Amino acid sequence: MAGSHGHGHTPAAWTGVIIAFIGFCVAGAFMVMANPLGFWAGMVIIGAGAIVGGAMSAAGLGQKRPQPQAARAES
Evaluate whether residue 75 is within a structural domain.
no
pLDDT of residue 38: 97
From the CB of residue 41, how many other CB atoms can be counted at a distance below 10 Å? 14
Evaluate whether residue 63 is within a structural domain.
no
pLDDT of residue 61: 84
How many separate domains does the chain show? 1
Evaluate whether residue 69 is within a structural domain.
no
User: How does pLDDT run along the chain (75 residues), one tens digit per residue?
Assistant: 455 566 678 899 999 999 999 999 999 999 999 999 999 999 999 999 999 999 999 998 888 777 777 655 565
Evaluate whether residue 68 is within a structural domain.
no
pLDDT of residue 5: 61
Domain that residue 45 falls in: 11-58
- pTM of this prediction? 0.77
In angstroms, the CA 34 to CA 27 distance is 10
